Amino acid sequence: MPLTDTAIRQAKPTDKPAKLADGGGLYLLINRAGKYWRWDYRYADKRKTLALGVYPETGLAKARERHKAARALLADGVDPGQAKQEKKRAAVLAAENSFRAVAEKWLDMRAPTWSHSHLVKTRQLLKRDVYPMLGMLPIASITSAKALEMARKIEARGAYEMPRVALVAASQVFKFAIGLGHIENDPAQGMSRQLNPRPPVEHYPHVTQGQLPDMLRKLDAMGSAPTVLAVKLNMLTFIRGGELRWAEWSEFDLDKKVWTVPTGRMKGSIWLKQKGNDHVVPLSRQALAVLGELRPLTGHHALLFPGRDNPKNALTGAAMNKVFHRMGLKGEQSVHGLRGLASTLLNESGVFNERVIEAQLSHKERNAVKAAYNHALYLPERTRLMDWWGNYLEHQAGENVMPLTMVA
């Protein structure tokens, strides 16, 4: 009699293994460990047993379906047991050569030369946007159409830059796979041209020269809270927001009037962080005054701008940007936009060489020898630049606003 679901459920394990036959060699093996589907068959005059699943994960209907498929293979002269082993090996090989497996090897290879933040962002990008569509596919099976489909799915969310970033990351993985001998071509190459055109680039917003005096007066009127002082110091030094927010008091030599930002906290690759120069920020009279106001408030902490809930964490960029929001400048001025504001006005002044301005903005020179040379060569000029900039902002905030090029 064929088995029934009820009979299978009610069957109890015994001290000795028992078999419940379903017909055609299919049976349920019952022992103390559980219930297992088995099929006894003969191939090349040898008796063999094929495992077809474990009950209840594999129910009666599924076991019969697998039994039927195995018998069809046997009828075609194929050993079902051997076919199952080959399928397992193929699955293991496919997993080892899947896009995700190769991508993780690529990340491991890149990790020593990348900053931690860049590694985390790239890994998050792959997990969020690339792996869901490409991760489990054998890397050799991925076509250009599939890579483009992945990017278009991201684009459908209304993103413009992210699908291109995802294609660049995928392309790097494919190039890595070419080196491993898994594939011969990069299917992501050129696919960004098939996406919708980019909208015009929107740079970080900043006010115009004409709006600057009003912004400075509003900032002065906001008092001396650490967040406000952070914005003031950022404006006077025009350093990157993250580098300012994580600034430590130990980095400042107030007698020499300099702030030395360790190369490890600067933007760039691990190589630049290890081999590059510390970034020296000459401190103007105005910047020293801001630090003087800040010292009683946070001088007992390691960080200049500790977080409100945890002093070991830094003030957030969002908190600094809210200062501009309270001034009614949301969308018109941002923390990062202070660098653009300084760059624009310093270049328009005609007082300083463009290379001096670029050096103080800490735009990296990739040639290490040239970078070290410029670092020393421009420091006196950078000191003059920072003093000029502090005086300029002070004049702009005053009642008698002076023209840009007249500030000495």
Residue numbers annotated as active site: 240, 267, 336, 339, 363, 373
Q: Could you tell me if 175 and 166 are in contact, meaning their C-beta atoms sit under 8 angstroms apart?
A: no
Task: Give CA angle at 382 (376, 385), nearest 5°.
Answer: 170
Segment 76-122, tens digit of pLDDT: 899 999 888 888 876 666 667 889 999 999 999 998 888 776 888 89
- Asked if the domains at 5-92 and 212-406 fall in one CATH topology, the answer is no
Please state, in angstroms and rounded to a whole number, the distance separating the CA atoms of residues 35 and 67: 16
- Looking only at the bridges linking them, the beta strands covering 18-23 and 26-31 are antiparallel
pTM: 0.55
Tokens of residue 192, six digits:
């960004």
Return the CATH superfamily for domain 5-92: Integrase, DNA-binding domain (3.30.160.390)
Tokens of residue 86, six digits:
């080959």
208-217 b/e (C-beta count within 10 Å ≥ 16 → b): eeeebbebbe
Tokens of residue 44, six digits:
């090349």
Assigned CATH topology for domain 212-406 = hpI Integrase; Chain A (1.10.443)
Q: 75: exposed, middle or buried (C-beta count within 10 Å: 0-12, 13-18, 19+)?
A: exposed
Q: Could you tell me if 254 and 288 are in contact, meaning their C-beta atoms sit under 8 angstroms apart?
A: yes
Segment 161-207, tens digit of pLDDT: 899 999 999 999 999 999 999 899 999 999 999 998 876 555 667 88
> Is residue 208 very low, low, confident or very high in pLDDT (cuts 50, 70, 90)?
confident
Torsion over CA: 110, 111, 112, 117 (sign) = positive
So what's the pLDDT on residue 407?
A: 46
Which of 310-314, 329-333, 403-407 shows the lowest per-residue confidence on average (mean pLDDT)?
Answer: 403-407
Which helix H or strand E contains 124, and what residues bound it?
helix 116-125
3-state secondary structure of 130: helix
From residue 30, give the alpha-carbon distance in Å to each of 12, 13, 40, 392: 8, 6, 15, 88
User: Which one-letter amino acid corresponds to residue 228?
Assistant: V
Torsion over CA: 390, 394, 396, 401 (sign) = negative
> Is residue 272 very low, low, confident or very high in pLDDT (cuts 50, 70, 90)?
very low
List the domain boundaries for the chain: 5-92, 99-194, 212-406
Compare 8 and 89 and report the one with higher pLDDT.
Answer: 8
Which of 141-145, 166-170, 324-328, 373-377 shows the lowest per-residue confidence on average (mean pLDDT)?
Answer: 373-377
Tokens of residue 292, six digits:
């003087």
Task: Give CA angle at 210 (283, 333), nearest 5°.
Answer: 65
Torsion of CA 90, 94, 97, 100, to 10 degrees: -160
Q: Would you say residue 264 has pLDDT above 70? A: no
Pick the CATH number of 99-194 from 1.10.150.130, 3.60.10.10, 1.10.3720.10, 1.10.8.640: 1.10.150.130
Compare 13 and 189 and report the one with higher pLDDT.
Answer: 189
